[in-house]
A and B are shown apart, each in its own frame.
Chain A
Amino acid sequence: MDGLSIDQRLLRHRATGLTDEQVLSMYRTMVLARLYDERAHLLQRAGKVPFHISGIGQEAAQVAAAFALDRERDWFLPYYRDYAFVLAVGMTVRELMLALFAKAEDPNSGGRQMPGHFGCRRLRIVTGSSPVGTQVPHAVGVALAARMRGDELVAFVSFGEGASNQGDFHEGCNFAGVHRLPVIFFCENNQYAISVPYSKQVGRARIADRAVGYGFTGVRVDGNDALEVYRVVREARERAIAGEGPTLVEVMTYRLAPHSTADDDLLYRTREEIDEHRARDGIVQFRRYLTECGLWNDEKEQALLAEARAVVDEATQYADRAPYPRPEDTLRHVYAE
């Protein structure tokens, strides 16, 4: 982004079809997600919740992708780091907190699943599980069904680069490729699958290039450049709607936090590496962009942080006080009642 004139930079988001309000909304969502994520970590370390798995570092790409989709019609199959994504498509911080505290009112699972296991029919977020990659064939099934019914929409499914090695990824991609289904395969390559680095996860190749093997388009994009991610996903959606089949988007990002609250990441990487990536993080870059566009400043930043913190505080308190499910609820919903 350096070296461009202000006008050219201003053009960037407008050129892709985003309004000023939209980019500010994107930024706010990213910051809110970040604050939620950091608070969730503290809550776990303070012993108030049992588990937290973080998406810090990946917010920019997720929000950008969400804004590129039709949030009123498309179907979403996110994975467990996608707090920013689900907030962008309509989930609230309060709902995330209810899931974190595993309370009865949690819309994702009624306090049954770990946090990050999203599901909300109202928002067309399909219920997810822990075995990674199983959501890929589900997304293909959704796209198949939508097409059979004549419904114009896209199935958006995200996963990590580790999960992209599961059989289900390959089977799902192949199936979608054969039948030219409207699916966007969104691989958030954050460089680590728990402790296993990318170099040990994938042979000397790019995940995006796997698409060729399945007969459709693959694109690699810098996950810290929100506007780039937006553009790529927008194009993928258009392709899908036009009947040209699926796209595999490989988003290059970085997992700033450990895998989860049960992981000691300094066993396999250095603080220097983490700090270096933190400096290049997508939220930092987007803020710089907005500031240079004249759309943002320090005052607005402080106000946003205060506002976001208040939202997170209220949500924390609400969820902390909310009741748990009843003991006998444990037996419900094995089958249709």
Chain B
Amino acid sequence: MPVITYLEGIRSAMREEMERDPRVFVLGEDVGKGGVLNATKGLRDLFGEDRVLDTPLSESAIVGVAIGAAMYGLRPIAEMQFADFIFPAANQIISEAAKIRYRSNNDWSCPVVIRAPYGATGGGSLYHSQCPESVFFGTPGLKIVAPSTAFDAKGLLKAAVRDDDPVLYFEHKKCYLSVSDEVPDHDYEVPIGKADVKREGTDVTVITYGMTVHYALKAADVLAKEGVDVHVLDLRTLQPLDREAILEATAKTGKVLIVHEDNKTGGVGAEIAALIAEEAFDELDAPIRRLCPPDVPAVAINPVAESFFLLNPDKVADAIRDLARY
């Protein structure tokens, strides 16, 4: 099976969907030339500039136009250049896309995909590193996905394009070229709403998504040598949360550590913790813990701040170790 990068997984998903379905097209700033992060590289040569459409610099219009096109019957993939710049489109995403089916009593629907590169790469500073998924989390009507591997990235993007509801697709910038794994040649989908156990374990459960999945796996290897067996659950989909998988992973060990790069307060982890407390109270052998960056607006550019703010396998290992000891 070929091994490809996370970025190639995303790119190939778009290419294959556009080949398969003439209704699929991509729009956004600089997508024609390949996108500032190369996600759409080569697509214009294959499909022409109408289907790989360069838009003016207006996020609200990018999403709003995509919504209109989706209501007409097409399957647009709207790209936000960086997740940090998604906010001008928040009104279109939350007031419109999320509510179109519900407000029209199923007369209209909005099958858009909005891709947003998120997360810190180092050197990105406050406005090229943010994790804004929690801003949209909890808005009924939206689906939100955040893959961590090339396999999941490709499969989830295909599923998102084929889904009849609006999907926010958060792709972690750091994973683009640093994560590679086996991806089949044939067509496949990763279902939206299903988490994935990336590592079986019996001592501590780590629930996480995005880049921190890899930190957790590295930490697990270190801890295995110390006799601590770590269970890693990759959420893959943030909304709807895979409730069964979360409760099952909790019951497996009774000790849960939630890890994400989004800041702690009001993050997706808070909802997971509440869910576990509400529905798996008797399975708990320790308080639910969350490991997240501090509650500051975003990560600054100087290396000291980055080191302080960002997570890494060591910080994850320390947190797991601590919980294992309880």
| Chain A residues at the B interface, C-beta cutoff of 8 Å | 75, 106-113, 117, 119-121, 126-127, 129-131, 134, 136-146, 148-149, 155, 167-168, 171-172, 174-175, 178, 332-337
Q: Which residues of A contact B68 (CB under 8 A)?
A: 126, 137-145, 155
Q: Determine whether the beta carbon of A168 is less than 8 Å from that of B60.
A: yes
Cα distance A175–B95 in the bound complex, in angstroms: 21
Interface 9-mer from B50-58, B199-207, B288-296: B50-58
Do B55 and A138 have beta carbons less than 8 Å apart?
no
Q: A168-B61, A174-B61, A175-B61 are in contact. Are A141 and B103 (CB under 8 A)?
A: no
A75 to B69 alpha-carbon distance, docked (Å): 12
Set of chain A residues within 8 Å of B67, measured between Cβ atoms: 137-138, 141
Closest-CB distance, B212 to chain A (whole angstroms): 27
Q: Of the listed stretches B71-79, B126-134, B248-256, name the one at the interface; the rest are far from the partner chain.
A: B71-79
For B66, B68, B73, the residue with the greatest tally of chain A CB atoms inside 10 Å of its CB is B68
B275 to chain A, nearest CB (A): 18
Interface check B108, CB cutoff 8 A? yes
CB<8 Å pairs between A and B, sample of 19? A108-B104, A109-B107, A111-B105, A126-B68, A129-B95, A134-B64, A140-B68, A148-B69, A149-B74, A167-B88, A168-B60, A171-B60, A174-B56, A174-B58, A178-B56, A335-B143, A335-B164, A336-B109, A336-B165
Report whether B74 and A175 are in contact in the complex, using a CB–CB cutoff of 8 Å. Answer: no
Binding site for A on B (CB under 8 A): 25, 50-51, 55-56, 58, 60-61, 63-74, 76, 88, 91-92, 95-96, 99-109, 140-141, 143, 163-165
With A127-B107, A129-B99, A336-B164 in contact, is A171–B61 under 8 Å at CB? Answer: yes
Q: Assess whether A117 is in contact with B101, with CB atoms less than 8 Å apart.
A: no
Choose among B50, B61, B73, B164 the residue with the greatest number of A CB atoms under 10 Å from its CB.
B61
Within the assembled complex, what's the spacing in Å between the Cα atoms of A108 and B109? 13
CA distance A148 to B164 in the complex (A): 20
Contact B64 A109 (CB under 8 A): no
Residues of B near A129 (CB, < 8 A) are: 95-96, 99, 103
- Taken together as a complex, chains A and B put the C-alpha atoms of A131 and B97 apart, in Å, by 13
Say yes or no: A138 contacts B71, CB within 8 Å. Answer: yes
Shortest A213–chain B CB gap in Å is 13
**Which residue of the partner chain A has the closest CB to B72?**
A145
Which A residue sits closest to B55, measured CB to CB?
Answer: A175
Complex contact A119–B103 (CB within 8 A):
yes
Q: Tell me the bound Cα distance from A334 to B107 in angstroms.
A: 12
Contact A145 B74 (CB under 8 A): yes
Q: How far is the CA of A178 from the CA of B140 in the complex (A)?
A: 34
* Chain A residue, CB-CB nearest to B25: A148
A60 to chain B, nearest CB (A): 28
Task: Report Cα–Cα, A110/B67, bound state, in Å.
Answer: 22
CB nearest to A174 among chain B residues: B56
Q: Which residues of B contact A121 (CB under 8 A)?
A: 107-108
Q: Please give me the residue from chain A that is nearest to B163 by CB atom.
A: A336
What's the Cα separation between A155 and B55 when bound, in Å? 19
Establish whether residues B165 and A335, one from each chain, have CB atoms under 8 Å apart when the complex forms.
Answer: yes
Contact (A109, B60) CB under 8 Å given A129-B96, A138-B68: no
* Chain A positions within 8 Å of B140 at CB level: 334
Q: How far is the CA of A142 from the CA of B74 in the complex (A)?
A: 9
Given contact pairs A112-B105, A138-B71, A171-B58, enumerate 16 new A-B contacts (beta carbons under 8 Å).
A106-B105, A107-B107, A121-B107, A126-B71, A127-B103, A131-B95, A134-B96, A137-B92, A144-B65, A148-B25, A167-B58, A172-B64, A178-B56, A334-B140, A335-B101, A336-B109
Q: Which residue of A lies closest to B240 (CB)?
A: A335
Q: How far is the CA of A139 from the CA of B74 in the complex (A)?
A: 14
CB distance from B9 to the nearest CB of A (A): 25
Please give, as numbers and ranges, the residues of chain B lying within 8 Å of A126 by CB-CB distance. 68, 71, 108
In the assembled complex, the Cα of A106 lies from the Cα of B92 at a distance in Å of: 25
Q: Which residue of B lies closest to A141 (CB)?
A: B68
Asked if B95 contacts A134 (CB within 8 A), the reply is: yes
Closest Cβ of chain B to A106, distance in Å, is 8
Contact status A109-B105, CB under 8 Å: yes
Interchain CA distance A106-B103 in the complex, whole Å: 12
Inter-subunit contact A141/B69 (CB<8 Å): yes
Q: Is A119 a contact partner of B108 (Cβ separation < 8 A)?
A: yes
Which A residues are in CB contact (< 8 Å) with B55? 175
Residues of B with C-beta under 8 A to A120? 107
Most buried by A among B56, B96, B109, B143: B96
The answer, among A110, A137, A332, A335, for a CB contact under 8 Å with B61, is: A137
Nearest CB in chain A: distance from B60 CB, A: 5
> Which chain B residue has the least Cβ–Cβ distance from A113?
B103
Please give the distance in Å from A186's CB to the nearest CB on chain B.
16
Report if A127-B65 is in contact (Cβ < 8 Å); known contacts: A134-B91, A148-B50, A336-B109: no
Contact A127 B141 (CB under 8 A): no
Complex Cα distance, B103 from A127, in Å, reads: 8
A126 CA to B67 CA, complexed, in Å: 11
Task: Report the Cα distance A336→B106, complex, angstroms.
Answer: 8
Q: How far is the CB of A291 from chain B (nearest CB, A)?
A: 41
CA distance A175 to B29 in the complex (A): 12
- A121–B95 CA distance with the chains assembled, in angstroms: 20
